[in-house]
Amino acid sequence: MAIRRCPYCLTVVPAGQVVAYSYDLVCPGCQRPLEISPASRDIAEALGLAAAAIVWFWTTRSWQAQTTLGWVLPIVYAFLALSIVSTLILMLSADLRLRADAPKPVEFAAEAGQGTHHGGSHH
């Protein structure tokens, strides 16, 4: 499937909408509920954690451990790296699918047919 496209109507979902509403994502074209595939989430998380580990390792070597900031700032920078990298990767590679737990759309023709049916007991 193409990146950030609705699998039902093939409308491209904006990248900002994918990361801002990742748990309540709705297709802007057909209004069906969507979710980000677990593989896309796992890739974004893994690359974000790798970036955080690299930043933490690099900043612990560059800051002096004797200062108070020497142990706090590497953690803060690693958290920022995780947040930024995982968000960017998700924006660039999100594979969308229809949400499995979403209610099925109701067919209006079926409802209209049920309204004209009368039981034979009250005539």
Of the two residues 80 and 112, the one the predictor is more confident about is 80
Residue 101 has pLDDT above 60, yes or no: yes
| pLDDT band at residue 7 using 50, 70 and 90 as cut-offs | confident
Q: Report the alpha-carbon distance of residue 13 to residue 15 in Å, rounded.
A: 6
DSSP 32-48: -EEEE-HHHHHHHHHHH
Mean residue pLDDT of the chain comes to 82
Segment 56-60 mean pLDDT: 89
pLDDT single digits (tens) 75-93? 999 999 999 999 999 999 8
Segment 90-109 mean pLDDT: 76
Nearest to 45 by CA among 2, 93, 8, 103: 93
| pLDDT band at residue 106 using 50, 70 and 90 as cut-offs | low
Q: How far is Cα of residue 118 from the mean position of the Cα atoms in its chain?
A: 47
Mapped onto helix, strand or coil, the DSSP state of residue 105 is coil
